[in-house]
Amino acid sequence: MKLLSVFGALVTGYLAAEASAASASCSFSTTINASTALSQLNSCPTLDGHIQISGDKIGAVDLNNVEEIKGDLKLFNSSSATALNMNKLKTISGSLTVDAFTQLHNIDFSSLTKVEKLALISLPSFAQINLNKGISEAGSITLSDTALSSLEGLIDYDHVGALDINNNKNISKIDLRNLESVSDRLSLSFNSDDCEVNLDNLEWASNLTIQDVSDLSIGNLTSVNSTFLIAYNKFDKIEFKKLKKIGGALQFFANDEVTEVSFDSLEEVGGEVDIYNNTDLQDMGDAFKKLKTIDGAVNIKGEIANFSLPSLSKIDGTFNLKSTSDKLDCSDINKQVKKKVKGHNASCSAPKKSSSSKKSSKSTKGSDSDSKSSSKSSSDSSSSSSSKKSDANTLMVASALFTTVITSVFAVFI
């Protein structure tokens, strides 16, 4: 009997453990369109599978018992949901996407520390995120088109796979001073018009995009493994003191207020170099002092008055520099470039220097000459006129004397 009792206890314990394990993790694929169905999800500490919550019958989304998301949880397209409570969620090892929840105001992620993939997109009313502990590990975070004004707690780590912060018009400061590396892409674009970005400790990134930024601090960047795009910014000068290599294309355009740009240490570009539509950028004489190799084409357009590639050894593509400034000396550039372009096409063009000043000088000399000639002519004319008047007076005097003498003679004989 004692043996049977022990065996029964073991079986009961095993079944209880199995039931507990089953209730701890729920794996299924479903779409939920009503708040009443959310209780099923909330009973699972771990969510796995493909789950979507959507529709205008959803009020507040309360998943306060969920601790981990292993699968894909997507909240999509609702104009009724106002809040998302996941205050016990610690880890997203799968993905969590909140997209087009237009009335969502608040998200509670107060226990969240690890994220594989988090996307908060098209949330025009979303102004508050609770991240008491803060995210310390992140694979991919996208924050797009929200009403957030602060990123405090969301980005506090030294490495990220991908980070995309765009079109958040209330975000005026992006402080990523702890970020050291980005293995996939870092894109900071079109947030507040006065957005300031701090990337002081960033050393390398695979793809790097900086757009519509008023101030950029990025002094320790040494390498961009793929494309580096800098466009539509409002800073007046930018310097990349330590950047040695760009593995892909360098694109620098539509930075209307930039007057100074310098890639002091850059030696290699693995793709194209495109520089255009930078309205106030004229002097690029020292922009690429150490640049040796370019594995793609070079296309430069603008009011460029000074340009030089003193360390160039080769350009694998073509070279085309088209300036609207008559101060650019293409002869020096052609000497530096032509024999080093492998694409068999090197072109530099600029307007010829204006000759208006020379014409003006000649015109002034001509005027002086004409003036002198006119003065001389006037003087001669005056002299001639004076001479003629003098001769006429002499004749009149002579005529008067002659008349007097004749009259006197006739008077004697009479």
Residue 187 parent element (H or E): strand 181-189
Question: What is the token pair recorded at 355?
Answer: 């000759």
The overall average pLDDT reported for the chain is: 85
Are 47 and 73 a contacting pair, CB within 8 Å?
yes
Instruction: Flag whether the pTM goes above 0.85.
Output: no
Question: What is the token pair recorded at 204?
Answer: 């390398």
pLDDT band at 24 (very low <50, low <70, confident <90, very high): low
The gap from C-alpha 74 to its chain's centroid, in whole angstroms, comes to 31
With a cut of 50, say whether residue 392 has pLDDT above it: no
Residue 53 parent element (H or E): strand 50-54
pLDDT band at 79 (very low <50, low <70, confident <90, very high): very high
Residue 91, CA distances (Å) to 110, 136, 138, 299, 366 in order? 11, 11, 10, 47, 87
pLDDT band at 355 (very low <50, low <70, confident <90, very high): low
Tens digits of per-residue pLDDT, 325-351?
999 999 999 999 989 999 879 999 999
pLDDT band at 142 (very low <50, low <70, confident <90, very high): very high
pLDDT band at 28 (very low <50, low <70, confident <90, very high): confident
Tens digits of per-residue pLDDT, 40-71?
899 999 999 999 999 999 989 999 999 999 99
Burial class from Cβ neighbours inside 10 Å (0-12, 13-18, 19+) for residue 186 reads buried
Model pLDDT, residue 89? 98
Question: What is the token pair recorded at 314?
Answer: 């080769």
Percent above pLDDT 70 for the chain: 80
Q: Residue 150 carries which side chain, given as an amino acid letter?
A: S
Question: What is the token pair recorded at 280?
Answer: 């106030």
Q: Closest Cα to residue 327, out of 291, 363, 298, 302?
A: 302
Model pLDDT, residue 40? 86
Domain boundaries, the chain: 25-157, 222-356
Are 75 and 53 a contacting pair, CB within 8 Å?
yes
With a cut of 60, say whether residue 372 has pLDDT above it: no
What residues are paired with 249 via a beta bridge? none
pLDDT band at 287 (very low <50, low <70, confident <90, very high): very high
State the number of CA atoms in the 13 A half-sphere of 266 facing the CB.
27
Residue 35 parent element (H or E): none
Model pLDDT, residue 36? 86
Model pLDDT, residue 35? 87
Q: Residue 135 carries which side chain, given as an amino acid letter?
A: I
The gap from C-alpha 167 to its chain's centroid, in whole angstroms, comes to 13
Are 248 and 273 a contacting pair, CB within 8 Å?
no
Tens digits of per-residue pLDDT, 225-241?
999 999 999 999 999 99
Tens digits of per-residue pLDDT, 81-104?
999 999 999 999 999 999 999 999
Percent above pLDDT 90 for the chain: 73
Range in 128-142, 272-286, 374-388 the model is least confident about: 374-388
353 versus 404: the higher-pLDDT residue is 353
Are 342 and 314 a contacting pair, CB within 8 Å?
yes
Q: Alpha-carbon distance 164 to 146, whole Å? A: 13
pLDDT band at 395 (very low <50, low <70, confident <90, very high): very low
Model pLDDT, residue 156? 86
Mean pLDDT of 156-170: 96
DSSP single-letter state for residue 331: H
What residues are paired with 128 via a beta bridge? 106
Are 169 and 191 a contacting pair, CB within 8 Å?
yes
Range in 31-35, 137-141, 347-351 the model is least confident about: 31-35
Question: What is the token pair recorded at 308?
Answer: 């030089």
Mean pLDDT of 103-107: 97
Q: Alpha-carbon distance 355 to 350, whole Å? A: 15
Are 165 and 151 a contacting pair, CB within 8 Å?
yes
Tens digits of per-residue pLDDT, 241-252?
999 999 999 999
Q: 3-class DSSP state for residue 362?
A: helix
Are 28 and 6 a contacting pair, CB within 8 Å?
no
pLDDT band at 393 (very low <50, low <70, confident <90, very high): very low
With a cut of 90, say whether residue 172 has pLDDT above it: yes
What residues are paired with 245 via a beta bridge? 223, 268
Are 323 and 349 a contacting pair, CB within 8 Å?
yes
Burial class from Cβ neighbours inside 10 Å (0-12, 13-18, 19+) for residue 355 reads exposed
In CATH, the number for domain 25-157 is 3.80.20.20
